[in-house]
A and B are shown apart, each in its own frame.
Chain A
Amino acid sequence: MNPVVELIAATKRYGQVEALRGVNLAIQPGEIVAMLGPNGAGKTTSISLMLGLRQPTGGQARLFGLRPTDRRARSRAGVMLQESGTTGVLTVRELVALFSTYYPSPLPTDQAVAMAGLVDKADARVATLSGGQRQRLYFALAICGNPEVLFLDEPTVGMDIEARRAFVASIRTLAIAGKTVVFTTHYLREAEELARRIVVVDRGLIIADATPRELMAKVAGKRVSFAVAHSLPVDVFRGLPHTALDVSDGRVRFLTNEPETVLKALFERGIEVQDLEVAGADLEEAFLSLTRRPEPA
């Protein structure tokens, strides 16, 4: 099967800043892919290249095997961008109907409005919408062309809980309908909940590309902390499975998937452990452990 969208050795430089440092990514039809990473990791840049909003400095981007700026490719893609704006004086229905004319076989306007959960606001002017409603409007504009692939850049930012729930349901519906969805988020929980494939981007590189289950197995799951009476020898943790080690104020904190192994080794090495706490790391923490680089030696 030909990929819907592809980045091939894509690099992107803004002046001195290297936003992408060689990204290879192919997304197949029907995949629901989350691009996950902290702010500034290169998620938005990746999406911009896939859409032809920006040109790669090196390598290339293909959308349906075409240059992403090609109208034939664009006609099969729906887009929701961060920080884009739209005219305020048209109503929701008018704007969705207008965007529908850009696509060869759009959804009925009312259906697109309903899928975005904006039926109550269909005749309201765009300027009167709240932040969350506006986000739903952008979702309606993204799906109104009945696209085969949806690109959603930080779709849930600004959504309240209810809007988020409706959004999640819509994505599931689209997934069932066989659509390809690519979205960015910096919430692991959101990626895990919606995506079948999570691509973790950090500092312009893909550092993980796996199913949520595989990813969860890879990241550190337990947070261990304890107090020590004496300062520890430097190499006491050497060879032990842990990440995100932090020693301060006489307290040691680290993340690990194997707390038993680590603690056993510490006892064997004669470390006196006081006030021990072992807790499940929350997802954000686990994710941080994945994106954190080892400290330079």
Chain B
Amino acid sequence: MAPLLRMLVAQTLSELRIRKRIPAFSLTNLALPVLFFTFFGLPFARQTFPNGVSVGAYLLASFAAYAVGSVMVYGFGIGVATDRGMKIDLLMRATPLPPSIAILAKVINALVFSLLSIVVLIVYGIIVGGVRQDLTVWIDIIVRLLAGSLPFIALGFAIGYSSGPNAAPALANLIYLPLSFASGLFMPLAQLPGFVQRIAPYLPSYHYGQLAWSAVGAPSEPLLTSLAWLAGYTALFMAIVTRAYRREQSLKFT
């Protein structure tokens, strides 16, 4: 049998190459967070909150969370639905490539792309917005957001397995944009309507945002609480994925 590591490396490089060649998707994912930060963040980037936290750093952390989540939700949601629509999965299933390797390659690829997306955003914030933080803070944001992205990977797969290639982008937008907005990723929660503030603590993106906000010193709940919520949402989304996946398998492969 062929070594799994060799398969994983080849599969990951191919996925990266594919992504590079679909610039519409890649550039959108790189540009949108920067664009949103320009609209919603740049005017206040040099201010500080009463508690001394840099508004610029806080908003960069918010949009970094938005960026990683969107890579995961749109990337997997649309990607998996497209693969299914084109029956790419059918041929792959007949090869000796284990499905776990194929999925792992996609996840690695998404993490690499998320990293790129955050780095572009932060560098933009530093250069254009004049936001200053220790390097360790930036690294902390990156590590926390990448490590905590599991619920959004699961959400992406859930969308990808329960919708077709045409519906997936709409469904992803319909779910992810309101989630991000209502969780205070676009503007601080305090500036949003009261009912949104009351809903936010139940949303996955709110707790995901906490990972980044705690890195800049502005969390509104203990880290363990955030992690518990994220783990719960991961379990919920994985249950949806498992159901949709099983249903599809029983249609296509039993």
- A→B interface (CB under 8 Å): 51, 53-55, 71-72, 74-75, 79, 81, 83-87, 89-90, 94, 97-99, 101-104, 138, 141, 145
Residues of B within 8 A of A75 (CB): 1-2, 96
Report chain B residues within 8 Å CB of A90: 14, 17-18, 21
Compute how far the CA of A99 lies from the CA of B11 in the bound complex, rounded to whole angstroms.
9
The reply to whether B87 and A74 form a contact with Cβ atoms under 8 Å apart is: no
Enumerate the 8 nearest inter-chain pairs by beta-carbon distance, A residue then B residue, closest first.
Answer: A85-B86, A84-B91, A101-B10, A74-B96, A79-B94, A89-B21, A84-B90, A85-B87
Closest B residue to A125 by CB, please name it. B21
A85 to B84, CA, bound (A): 9
Q: Are A86 and B88 in contact (CB under 8 A)?
A: yes
> Would A104 and B2 count as touching, CB distance under 8 A?
yes
Query: Whole-angstrom distance between the alpha carbons of A55 and B96 in the complex?
Result: 17
| Most interface-central of A79, A90, A97, A102 (chain B CB within 10 A) | A102
Is B95 a contact partner of A53 (Cβ separation < 8 A)? no
**A101 engages B95 (CB within 8 Å):** no
With A75-B1, A102-B7, A103-B2: A53-B18 Cβ-Cβ less than 8 Å = no
- B6 adjacent to chain A (CB < 8 Å): yes
B17 touches A141 (CB 8 A): no
Q: Are B18 and A89 in contact (CB under 8 A)?
A: yes
Q: Which residues of B contact A79 (CB under 8 A)?
A: 91, 94-95
Are B91's CB and A81's CB within 8 A? Answer: yes
A98 touches B14 (CB 8 A): yes
Q: Other than the known A74-B95, A84-B87, A85-B86, what 20 A-B pairs have Cβ atoms closer than 8 Å?
A: A53-B93, A54-B254, A72-B1, A75-B1, A81-B91, A83-B87, A83-B90, A84-B90, A84-B94, A85-B87, A86-B91, A87-B18, A87-B88, A89-B22, A90-B17, A94-B14, A97-B10, A99-B95, A102-B2, A102-B7
23 A-B interface contacts by CB (under 8 A): A51-B94, A53-B90, A71-B96, A81-B94, A83-B87, A84-B90, A84-B91, A84-B94, A85-B90, A85-B91, A86-B86, A87-B86, A87-B88, A89-B18, A89-B22, A90-B18, A94-B14, A97-B10, A98-B10, A101-B2, A102-B95, A103-B96, A104-B2
Chain A residues, CB < 8 A from B43? none
Residue among A54, A72, A84 with most chain B CB within 10 A: A84
B105 to chain A, nearest CB (A): 10
CA of A86 to CA of B97, assembled, Å: 14
Closest chain A residue, CB of each to CB of B94:
A79
Contact partner, A94, options B2, B17, B86, B93, Cβ 8 Å: B17
Docked complex Cα distance between A57 and B75 (Å): 37
Closest A residue to B8 by CB, please name it.
Answer: A101
Contact with A along B111-133 (1 / 0, CB 8 A): 00000000000000000000000
Given contacts A51-B94, A79-B94, contact A101 B6 (CB under 8 A): yes
CB distance from A177 to the nearest CB of B (A): 21
| B49 close to A (CB within 8 Å) | no
| Assembly CA distance A74 to B93 (angstroms) | 10
Interface presence of B98 (CB below 8 A): yes
Report the separation of the CA atoms of residues A43 and B22 in the bound assembly, to the nearest whole angstrom.
37
Q: How far is the CA of A79 from the CA of B90 in the complex (A)?
A: 11
User: Is B195 among interface residues, defined by CB-CB distance under 8 A?
Assistant: no
| A104 x B1 contact (CB < 8 A) | yes
A51 to B86, CA, bound (A): 20
Inter-chain contact B7/A101, CB cutoff 8 Å: yes
Instruction: Check if A53 sits within 8 Å of B2, measured CB to CB.
Output: no
CB distance from B12 to the nearest CB of A (A): 11
Question: In the assembly, what is the distance between CA of A145 and CA of B1, in Å?
Answer: 11
Using Cβ atoms and an 8 Å threshold, which residues of chain B touch A81? 90-91, 94
Min CB distance, A10 to chain B, in Å? 14
Give the CA-CA distance A181 to B130 in the complex, in Å: 66
Shortest C-beta distance, A108 to chain B (Å), equals 15
- How far is A99 from B86 in the complex, measured between Cα atoms in Å? 18
Complex contacts, B88 vs chain A, CB 8 Å: 84-87
Provide the bound-state CA to CA distance between A42 and B125, in Å.
62
B71 to chain A, nearest CB (A): 18
8 Å CB contact of A141 from B91, B93, B96, B254: B91
Chain B residues, Cβ within 8 Å of A72? 1
Which residues of chain A come closer than 8 Å to B91, judged between CB atoms? 79, 81, 84-86, 138, 141
Closest Cβ of chain B to A61, distance in Å, is: 13
Q: Which residue of B lies closest to A47 (CB)?
A: B94
Q: How far is the CA of A106 from the CA of B135 in the complex (A)?
A: 47
Least CB distance from B165 to A in Å reads 11
How distant is the Cα of A90 from the Cα of B19 in the complex, in angstroms?
Answer: 10
Chain A's closest residue to B2 (CB) is A104
Q: Output the residue of B21, B90, B96 with the most chain A CB within 10 A.
A: B96
